Amino acid sequence: MIRQATAKDMEDILEVWLLGSLQAHDFVPAAFWWQQLERMRVRYLPGAELWVCEREGEVQGFIALVDDYLAALFVRPDCQQNGIGKALLAMAKHLRRRLELKVFTENDVAVHFYQQHGFAITDEDIDPNTGQPEYRMGYRAC
């Protein structure tokens, strides 16, 4: 079930974010993600529109939207390949006719996932926090 997140979901969302970041971004030192945890809790996530995918009472994934920017789409590593990311992305597309996001160029799985779902690379830059190259990708509904 996908539903809008509540304050009670914050710890679960942070856990999904951290586990997902450590797994998907193993080219960034793990210490970086641990250092970002509090910033996510108090700065980034409270300013976003959050939706969670919950199954059997457990938050298994989430999206964070800031206007037309898909700030985050994460699925617990042990819950991946079950359609959760696809369902969450479908929800984001339902909520917004246009979406933009950033993804590390080295995260081939995510780049391919977004391309499969109608996103195109629109620009390339360097993430100022990690020094890693990243793509800006965009989607527009027909």
Q: Alpha-carbon torsion 7, 9, 13, 14, what sign?
A: positive
Q: Where are the domains of the chain?
A: 2-140
DSSP type of residue 87: H
Q: Where are the beta strands (DSSP E) in the chain?
A: 2-4, 49-55, 58-66, 69-75, 98-104, 120-126, 133-140
Give the residue from 52, 55, 56, 67 showing the smallest Cα distance to 9. Answer: 52
At 142, the amino acid letter reads: C
Give the CATH class of 2-140: alpha beta
Please list the pLDDT of the chain residue by residue as tens digits (142 residues). Answer: 999 999 999 999 999 999 999 999 999 999 999 999 999 999 999 999 999 999 888 999 999 999 999 999 999 999 998 999 999 999 999 999 999 999 999 999 999 999 999 999 999 999 999 999 999 999 998 7
d(CA 47, CA 86): 23
Host H or E run for residue 108: helix 108-116
